[in-house]
Chains A and B, each alone.
Chain A
Amino acid sequence: MTDLTPQAPNRRESVPFWRDIRVLGVLAQIAFLIVVISGLAWVARNVTQNMSTLGGSQFLCRDGSSSVRCAFDFLQLDAQFAISESLIPYDPSDSYGRALLVGALNTIKVSSLGIVLATVLGTLTGIARLSSNWLISSVARWYVDIIRNTPLLLQLFFLFFAVILAFPPIREANQLFGLPIFLSQRGIDLPRIVMMPSFMTWLIFLVVGAALAAAVWWWLGRRERETERDANRPLWALLALLIVAVPGWFFASATAADTQGFLAPESSGITEFADVPEVVRAQLGLENLNELDAALDAGTVTQEQVDEATVTFCAVENSPPLTNMAAELNRANVPWAVERSRTPAAASADFAAGECQLLVSSRTALAGEQAALADVLPSTLIPLRELPVRLSVPRIEGLNFVGGIKLSPNFAAILIGLTVYTGAFIAEIVRAGIQSVAKGQSEAARALGLSESQRLRLVVLPQALRVIIPPLTSQYLNLTKNSSLAIAVGYPDLWSTAFTTLNQSGRAIQVFLIAMGTYLMFSLLISSFLNWYNRRVALVER
């Protein structure tokens, strides 16, 4: 028996090393490595040669010597160039390092906003592509086809030069759909939500309301388990929240009423807020201030008369009372103007000097002011209605919009451009993802009695996302990289500030290393998320 078992060779057959597949592999790689390294060495030698002809300023140290060690010392030098918009305080006397940081933050800002907006737009368009209504799906398809087949840079130029810069001048700004959104050569102005001091009171109600909603949710959940019937939990929870939040809104508004107010000179005869529109109305000789625009058009009231009747008030800039007063006056359709001051003292001084008719501030400050001015300018303190949340609406003052959120033309162009472009690509991804879910899945979900929202949430979406997320992430990556085209429309993103830094400092290699390294880092962050997600959701197959 033992004779038949094959004998293991007692020594390994010796292979000459030049035929050993392993040795050959290593040798080939070493040869490859030598070629690559000598190529790099050649480049390095050229660089040093070019440096010596260009002058050694590239690696200048602070003590005047020159060393590779000091390659990045220039980051501490003064940048001496201005950046038009920044998330952090910056001025030209700051360093190159800070300038680059400003650029990087701007890139993050436009990319992250762009990613959110493009995802929303793309998802809606992707769903529209699948609509059973032929017109909706055709319009969506045309949008996708046109955008995907033309260059992004062309779209950006068109948007910036031929659309945004061709908007009317600021005085004739376009209003979108009658909403407080203004399009002008100076960019796009949107309303902004401002929280008033009384918001804190309301917040307490919101928290209590949320707690009540949670309790209702839990209680209905128990009932659902008992009755085995759906109890429409979202609706009742929402109602529970509202039942606390809505009275809370009025309560906060009512209790806060005496924290803000305005001073009116006794001579003006104004004793409560309602007198303000009344005075203006009487002055203009109108039945109702709502007819003001019509009267202006008809010519029964002239612009001069309106200017004359305009209510001017003094307030500290960006202060809650100002927003509050502005909102109240807008509500009453009163033409108004504001004298902005940096400090409460300056505002009071303006008021005392008669530059405005009313002084708007917090009530405690006003009470002191009222006492101080008692002899010079006797005045009445009138409480101002306050709402926990106010909308700050953009309004033309002088040559600019004041209030709200301002998108510069450059930022608007790059943001809208990136959103529209990437949205078209995302639409195709979303469409393919939804179509990848077999029809039988929806039928099975329906047959089991799942509601439409449950079907989407529990069955369709998880399967579609698996198909959607990988290409979606690479679109996010593309959007981030494409944000470097901001330089074409003058938005100071990372590449734009890096390029200016390069031109000013002359440190070409270092600036390229920093800029490309930062983009690479963004890319690696996004793609490592992709890998993580892919591993998490990989479908198990037989």
Chain B
Amino acid sequence: MTTLYHNLQTFFRGDTGHFSWRHFLREHIFSSWWFAPWLLLLLYITVRVVAGQFAASPVVTAVVLIAWALTVMVTAVSNVLHRHTPLTFWLSNNLYNSITSAFISLLIVLLLIAGVRGFFGWAFVRASFVPDAEVAAQTLSQWEDPGANWGAVVDNFRNLMVFRFPREQDWRLWLLVLWNVLLLIPSTFVFSREVYRRSRVRRVLALLWVFTPVLAYLLLVGIGDGGPLPRLNPDTVWGGLLLTLIIAVFGIIASFPLGLLLALGRRSKIMGVPGWLTWLVVLPLTIYLVATRTVPGLREASGPGQILISLLPLLLPVAAYLFLRYFHGNVVALLSTIYIETVRGVPLITVLFMSIILFPIFLPPQMEVLSTWRVLAAVTFFAAAYLAENVRGGLQSIPKGQFEAADALGLGTARKYRLIVLPQALRAVIPAIVGQFIGLFKDTTLVETVGLIEFLGVANLISAQPDWLGVRREPYVFIAIVYFIGNFLMASYSRRLERQLGVGER
């Protein structure tokens, strides 16, 4: 205790030269010209906020202020004495690192408390949870500033989840969920342990996973009119979170083959079409088109637009030149690149509208395709371009030596990729693909704009129901929470995976 007393004495009296207020002010406050004004501004803001919060909720603010002042003092003394408890050590490193930091911490705590109070007041205190609209209205009317009307979400819970899926067919969804859970649980450790590397369990599980899409189709769509699995019309019965999940999962899985081919295509180094052959085709074609289109077109043209269209055939040789110059005659790389860059260059919403408006024009007149299928196709085509770029990133991360070793062993192109390159590349891109899935899961909300009622679409319908007219915030908040939990879990999983891949095995 004598040391403590001695130290405190030097702290306040400064007689040993360790501490003096003049010294302190000169070194900490006036050491640079901007610090004092900044501190004053911060003090002003703090006082304003404290006063405001004090008026709103005196007790809480007073408690926070006292706690703050006490901890700041204790931390300051601990710092001077270099004697820390775990708490003061944490505080001095994280909340009270400097004079300004201490004030900012107080500010943030006060504002956070105000925000959390506001939200809790709205979400719980002044809220109604009854799915009965009339009771809810009564409950809410007792408040001057009524809070959340969660009844709308409770009442529409089924709509939000599956929308119009027939109730008597619910068992199909439960079965599908059960199937996936049953497969997922053993998979998590069978696929992560080296013990099972060559085991039969692993192969069986893989086979069952491959069978899952078939099962999903049987359960979600069904076959035949009678029988145990009557056929359902996706356009009318799929909706809500169900539709969102279908689109996102289908999109990422179905885009995989196309994305892989596009990635390989863009990187392909096969011997290109020679220049003479290209020109042999392009030049006569250009001459023919100029003769039949450009010349009569220019003669009849009225207005610059028409002239431009008539001149289009002249671009053909330019395109051929660029093709030979930048792609060395490699048609596969050219077309893959054009596809990838075009799709990545336009917004998803235009691709979705294209599926609704243009696909019918592109297909034979007698062929009618449900809009759900068209949207699924559009999402797939869209996701494939992004997936291709992710896979390409993975391919680029494979050292050149791996390719050379495979070539030297005489494996041949197909086996080189199948046995050596792709296993490594795909492992490396799993985190990126999880990231893409998160993006796709979020982007699925856009199908609402083309008239499919997915998760967010149901929320917008709720506010139009006579019972819950204008109730928007509550379903939005609910959806945001669902998305946040799902994506946050996936993102943390992906980060963990990234660390694992980064550390070992490679």
Contact = CB atoms under 8 A, between A and B. Distances in A.
Are A and B in direct contact (Cβ within 8 Å)? yes
Interface in A43-77: 43, 46-47, 49-51, 53-54, 62, 68-73, 75-76
A480 B140 CA distance: 42
Given A43-B362, A135-B109, A145-B488, A482 B347 contact: yes
B170 interface: no
A26 B105 CA distance: 68
Interface in B71-105: 93-95, 97, 101, 104-105
B434 interface: no
Given A26-B277, A520-B342, A146 B484 contact: yes
Contacts of B345: 519-520, 523-524
B362 A520 contact: no
A487 interface: yes
A301 B202 CA distance: 86
B438 interface: yes
A54 B361 CA distance: 10
Nearest to B109: A135
B94 A133 contact: yes
Interface string A121-165: 000000000001111100100000110111111100110011000
B105 A157 contact: no
A418 to B, nearest CB: 12
A46 B347 contact: no
Contacts of A481: 346-348
Nearest to B363: A46
B476 A154 contact: yes
A512 B352 CA distance: 11
A502 B361 CA distance: 14
Q: Which range holds the interface residue count of chain B?
A: 35 or more
Interface stretch (A27-35, A320-328, A385-393): A27-35
Nearest to A43: B362
Contacts of A21: 271
A344 B74 CA distance: 71
Interface string A485-515: 1011000000100010010000011001001
A154 B94 CA distance: 34
Contacts of B353: 499, 512
Contact of A150 (B300, B306, B349, B442): B442
A33 B484 CA distance: 45
B309 A68 contact: yes
Interface residues of A, number: 64
B104 A512 contact: no
Contacts of A368: none
Contacts, number: 177
Interface stretch (B15-23, B149-157, B184-192, B444-452): B444-452
A149 B483 contact: yes
A481 B382 CA distance: 14
B350 interface: yes
Nearest to A145: B488
B371 interface: no
B490 to A, nearest CB: 9
A498 to B, nearest CB: 8
Given A508-B358, A520-B346, A25 B479 contact: no
B109 A154 contact: no
B301 to A, nearest CB: 7
A69 B456 contact: no
Nearest to B331: A29
B5 to A, nearest CB: 32
A22 interface: yes
Count chain A CB atoms within 10 A of each CB in B342, B445, B480 and give the residue with the most.
Answer: B445
A515 B344 contact: no
B40 interface: no
A516 interface: yes
A69 B332 contact: no
B158 interface: no
B446 A71 contact: no
27 contacts: A25-B271, A29-B273, A30-B273, A46-B363, A46-B364, A47-B362, A69-B301, A73-B305, A73-B306, A76-B303, A145-B488, A151-B442, A157-B456, A158-B473, A161-B463, A162-B476, A481-B346, A481-B348, A484-B347, A485-B349, A485-B446, A488-B449, A508-B357, A508-B358, A512-B354, A520-B342, A520-B345
Given A158-B472, A512-B357, A519-B347, 18 more contacts: A28-B270, A29-B273, A30-B331, A32-B335, A69-B297, A72-B309, A76-B303, A132-B97, A139-B112, A149-B484, A149-B487, A151-B442, A153-B456, A157-B476, A161-B472, A162-B476, A484-B349, A502-B357
The 8 closest A-B pairs by CB, nearest first: A523-B345, A134-B94, A25-B271, A149-B487, A484-B347, A151-B442, A481-B347, A520-B345
